[in-house]
Chains A and B, each alone.
Chain A
Amino acid sequence: MSVAPLLLLGLLALGAATGLGPRLPRVWLALTVAGTAALLAAAVVVLAGGADWEWRSGFAVGGEALHLRLDGISALFLGLLGTVGGLGAIYAREYWSDEQQPDSAPRGRRWWGSIILSMGFVLLSSNGLHFLIAWELFAVSSFFLITLERERREVRAAGWLYLAASHAGTLCLFAFFAALAARTGSWDLGPLRDRPDLAPLFWLAFAGFAVKAGLFPVHIWLPSAHANAPSHVSALLSGVTLKMGLYGLIRFGGWLPVPAAAGWIVMAVGAVSAVFGIAFALAQNDLKRLLAYCSVENVGIITVGIGGAMLGAAHGAAPWGRLLLAGALLHILNHGLFKSLLFFGAGSVLHATGTRELSRLGGLWRSMPWTAGLFAVGAAAICGLPPLNGFVSEWLIYLGLFGPAMSHHPAAWVAMPAALLLATAGALALATFLKAGAVVFLGAPRTQTAERAHESGLRMRAPMLALAAVCLAIGLAPSWLWPALARAVGTWNPAWVAGAPPPLLTLSLAQVGLAALFVAAGAILWRRARATGMRRALTWDCGYSRPTARMQYTGGSFAAIAAGWFSWLLQPARAQRRPHGPFPEGASRIERVPETVLERLVEPAAGGARRLARAARRLQHGRLQFYLLYLAAGLTALAILGLVEAMR
């Protein structure tokens, strides 16, 4: 099947879903699944070797003819959008059902269709003006999705922060596209690699897209928005919408020439983002906020790859440049999959217990075995552990980073520190996800709500199962994906079309072997343990026979050592009451990690802007005679200006 009918089908189905969604939930689900499946199919057709698809309309929209294009890069993102969009819709039917959310569920369905449509248009559009329109629609749709639960104050605050940050980024993009159109004389977008005068515009695009991607330190909107949105929305936000920022970075980093310093700076920002993002994640006590900060880390990892690709392109170093870009693209896909899985898991926990606080959870594997197992798979995948998919993409990125080091290339001066920072971030991620998984699912329930949890239904489990299966499949057979990645890399830089692939086949054989051995060893040991006569007893607590759930190690204690190394960055706020007297009671210690960048940096700066605005407001006081005076003064000034011009 060719691409155009599939895309048309997707457009019609999703458009109908947006229109009918609020009233007909079942039809909405069917239409959304059909539409996203069509998008996925279109992406697969292109990635599996079909030709690039391009279409120009005879009519004009907003003064410009529509120009749509689906090539290797946009197809990759479209595939991810289709997957997470469809699975999220299935998940939402149970998670955010009309029975439980009679007010916001219908609205949620409408905006779900709208955000998928607008993101699809962002990916397809090859016209600056339409790109901006779609970008804005997509930002507004995400705002309404984040604020579905708008009766809660923190949700509204998160929504407004998102809207403000997003528009600050969009402002840069307006400037970028306007300047681009002014210099090229057309809104049409496409490869313009032979125009070195366009290179400085890259910084505008980088600033604009970095806000959307959530790179440190412009991630300020991300944690609260992702934590406070409904979980299926968080999954889409983290899995796909962040990637729109990365899409812009990759797209325009490939189409337009970039300044010589771009690769260095992008890679450095990415590496710093990875370490700082995961340091913040480790210190969080809110499950969804932890996952949100971890997205900052993963976006950082991906950005390291993108920066490396720019460096490789600038220095004509194809062997490692293409590995880095392929790794970045694969990690985009992978992170979209396992982060959605983890947010779905967090949503199930929230649904079952009503809390995201780690210190109120625990022991959930007993009541929610499916969620626990699938969350563990997601956690292992995001830590980059073999034989899952996260390992493959991180392996590609490391392999690319080792390239300049091995060939004594000057780019090694940023690649080697980046590799070390990624290794540190990787080890911190392991600690973070052990903490998240263990405190939520293992041990004894810390509260009664955690004790009374229930497993979620099939509609919530099936999407998680599907995502975990894809994570495993990509991990076991990455060589199948290589042609698609190579094609996207070739789209990005035509000089990199050909070239020896990395030894993915050997890797995938090793991964399959490992997976088989893991299962076999686990089964053998379990059988052996059963054969020796297994019995249950209390956990060993130094001989203490009445341990309580409150005696377990908490998430805060677990993270304390490593988070302590970053206290200069995290600046945790502590409140403690020490025990006093021979019979102490009421001692407590509360530690909270603030949104350091937002609270210590952005808000004071915003305070200055607010004071300026307040001063300017004094001009507006409602006294007519003063307004007339302003008018007269303005006219006089204009007249003088005109006279001076005329005299020249």
Chain B
Amino acid sequence: MIAILPFALRLACWLLLAPLLPGIINRVKAWVAGRRGPPVLQLYYDLARLWQKSVVLSVLASPAFVAGPAVAWVALVAAAMLVPLGPAAGFPSFQGDVLLLVYLLALARFCIAWAALETGSAFEGMGAAREVSYAVLTEAALMTAILSLSVQTGSVTLNTMLAHSSGPGALLLAAGLFSVLLAENCRVPFDDPNTHLELTMIHEAMVLDHSGPPLAVVLHGAALKLLLFAVLLSEAVLPMGRLAPLAATAVLAAAVALVTVGVGLVESLLARFAFRRVPLLLTTAFLFCLFALLLAWKGGAP
């Protein structure tokens, strides 16, 4: 019972807070543009509405079209549960759980892309192709970041890796991980979540044919992934382990809010890049992480 309560609390935190982030981003964008913007809780309303709506299925789609988003959502929730949330340690936690995290993200990507390709639409094909291709570079960058944390802390367990600050390379790592966050969550300058032109989208193009509850699951999963990366970024850079529980919670909340506002500002101030420039930007993110790794290596044994 005692073990279940923190687990349930953490789960509730992840599930309930995730849809807040896109709302904040939209609020920031509206503020910069001088508009009033949608309510912060807009995504919650959308999710509730979509859950009630009926489903239109493509004539070509198999049951995996619906199962894909469900599996992807579970994978993302499971990935989030591995990550410590401020003072609350991640559970289950074991040596090498960080690799499970990486592969769960890959599984989510596989399922969403598979569901997208079920429809046989060229737009969804395009979106899926872009998603999995750019993921090659983001995964390399993410793995480099993980290596640098692992060199820094001498551990491959998320709870330990994220408890310490990432040392001399913290700034580089933050820059690299922030780019990874933008790319993995399909934000500007990699992708534009607001465009209405299917040709230029990645994530939105993949879910064009989803509707009703499956679309709600996809949207909630995307919000969860954004929160997951924001938490990862904050905890990788900040020395969470040294803070008192209450302070850690406050610092984490502030950091995540900062990252979210940062995403919103980037989105307001930058235009989406041409697709052929995306690999260049991702390579830069990889190099940031690589230099963080080299700095961690030079830093000597933990």
Contact = CB atoms under 8 A, between A and B. Distances in A.
B119 A539 contact: yes
B94 A503 contact: yes
Given A522-B70, A541-B122, A426 B139 contact: yes
Given A536-B58, A553-B129, A561-B130, A541 B121 contact: yes
Interface string B105-139: 01101100110011111111110111011111001
20 contacts: A369-B62, A423-B140, A424-B139, A431-B132, A434-B117, A437-B114, A442-B118, A442-B120, A444-B120, A510-B78, A517-B78, A529-B66, A533-B55, A535-B54, A535-B57, A538-B59, A539-B58, A541-B123, A552-B121, A552-B122
B213 A528 contact: yes
B195 interface: no
B226 interface: no
Given A427-B139, A525-B213, A534-B57, A399 B110 contact: no
Smallest CB-CB A-B distances: 3 pairs: A553-B125, A443-B120, A438-B117
B31 interface: no
A363 interface: yes
Given A406-B150, A434-B132, A558-B129, A423 B96 contact: no
Given A405-B151, A514-B74, A529-B214, A534 B60 contact: no
A399 B92 CA distance: 17
Interface stretch (A153-161, A295-303, A383-391, A604-612): A383-391
A560 B67 CA distance: 28
Interface string B133-172: 1111001101110010011001110000000000000000
A406 B156 contact: yes
B209 interface: yes
B117 A529 contact: no
A514 B71 CA distance: 9
Contact of B212 (A395, A408, A434, A529): A529
Most buried by B among A372, A424, A561: A561
B180 to A, nearest CB: 13
Contact of A549 (B78, B120, B128, B132): B120
Contacts of A412: 151, 297
A538 B55 CA distance: 13
Interface of B: 51-60, 62-64, 66-67, 69-71, 73-75, 78, 92, 94-96, 99-100, 102-104, 106-107, 109-110, 113-114, 117-126, 128-130, 132-136, 139-140, 142-144, 147, 150-151, 154-156, 198, 208-209, 212-214, 217, 279, 293, 297, 300-301
* Dominant secondary structure of chain B at its interface with chain A: helix
B96 A406 contact: no
Interface string A421-434: 00110111011001
A170 to B, nearest CB: 37
Given A391-B103, A395-B99, A419-B143, A539 B217 contact: no
A430 B110 CA distance: 7
Contacts of B300: 408
Contacts of B147: 402, 405, 416, 419-420
A95 interface: no
Most buried by A among B59, B102, B120: B120
Contacts of B156: 399, 402, 406
Given A503-B94, A525-B66, A537-B57, A384 B103 contact: yes
B106 A426 contact: yes
Given A431-B136, A525-B67, A529-B66, A506 B117 contact: no
A560 B100 contact: no
Nearest to B53: A532
A384 B212 CA distance: 31
A529 B212 CA distance: 7
A568 interface: no
Contacts of B155: 406
Given A424-B136, A443-B117, A536-B58, A502 B63 contact: no
A561 B123 contact: no
A514 B62 CA distance: 22
